[in-house]
Amino acid sequence: MARRKPGEGQTALITGASAGIGVDLAECFAKDGYDLILTARSQGPLDEVAARLKATYGVNTHTIAQDLGAFGGGSAVAAAIAAKGLNVDVVVNNAGYGHAGALTSSDLPTQLGMIDLNVRALVELTYLYWDRMLANKRGGVLNVASTAAFQPGPLMANYYASKAYVLSFSEAMWEEARDTGVNVSCLCPGPTKSKFRERAGTDKTKLARDGAPVMSSAPVARAGYEAWKRNRRVIVTGGRNAFQAGMVKYLPRETLLKIVRNIQSPQ
């Protein structure tokens, strides 16, 4: 008899699953037998990812096109899931975007939308499925923050702050879930190949010019997934990123602010 895969009979909801890290996260869950609910705004790419993973791993896949930055976007996704008669065991809050530059270098909706997507939708989806996870004593939440979460980010202030929120929230929920059977992890990638950098403009900063290594999205996702399976509280991808994130607490705050301002400056 074939051995049961760890995710069989469970469903993972993955946000931002039409591109980048989210696609690779979806693949990690599918490989372990989880059925998938994939969401993002773009229906076409979602359908392509869903069809490929279903064909490769034989899992059930569903797609929901929704702007999670819209007010109530998380609840709209949950309503669509309920209407399909599905349940969610694992929430992977991956969708997010950033904007490099001074606060007023983009319009207000771009700045506030970052909070709506990176923070508000993440809390909303966690809230909606949390009690069910606790009652079932299984599943959990994998939140995608960033190495930006470990310090304030002059010239990308709102994005760094949004990711600091994600890290803080995730660690607190990890503690709340202690001994419940529910896993909570916060994945903190450094620069990663995806559409993010172009959209955010981080490919034009001194950090990008000075050769900060850019990881592929597949190993980033795998590291996050493996960490989540072991209920690791926080995972920073890449040795250099982990070292830098660990050093932050030893630097005087004003020195740190100057360093970050410098690396976030345009080339």
Point out the residues that are catalytic.
159, 163
Identify whether the C-beta of residue 45 lies closer than 8 Å to the C-beta of residue 20. Answer: no
SS3 content of the chain, % helix, strand, coil (to 5): 55, 15, 35
Q: Does 196 bind ligand NAP (CB under 6 A)?
A: yes
DSSP helix/strand/coil, 200 = helix
- C-alpha 16: how far from chain center: 8
Residue 199 sits in the site that holds ligand NAP (CB under 6 A):
yes
Q: With contacts defined by CB under 6 A, how many residues of the chain interact with ligand NAP? A: 29
From 96, 153, 224, 238, residue interacting with ligand NAP (rule: CB under 6 A)? 96
3-state secondary structure of 193: coil
Q: Does 41 bind ligand NAP (CB under 6 A)?
A: yes
Query: Cβ 21 to ligand NAP, closest distance in Å?
Result: 4
238 near ligand NAP, judged by CB under 6 A = no
In whole angstroms, what is the distance from residue 244 CA to residue 251 CA?
11
Residue 197 interacting with ligand NAP (CB under 6 A): yes
Is residue 16 a contact residue for ligand NAP (CB under 6 A)? yes
Contacting ligand NAP (CB under 6 A), which of 7, 13, 22, 26? 22
**Helix locations, 21-119, DSSP H:** 21-31, 43-57, 73-83, 108-115
Q: Kindly state whether residue 117 participates in binding ligand NAP, applying the rule CB under 6 A.
A: yes
Assess contact for 177 and 134: CB atoms under 8 A: yes
Q: Does 69 participate in binding ligand NAP (rule CB under 6 A)?
A: yes
Grouping H, G, I as helix, E, B as strand and the rest as coil, residue 241 is helix
Q: Which of 11, 185, 192, 264 binds ligand NAP (CB under 6 A)?
A: 192
Q: Which residues contact ligand NAP (rule: CB under 6 A)?
A: 16-22, 40-42, 67-69, 94-98, 117, 144, 146, 189, 191-192, 194-197, 199
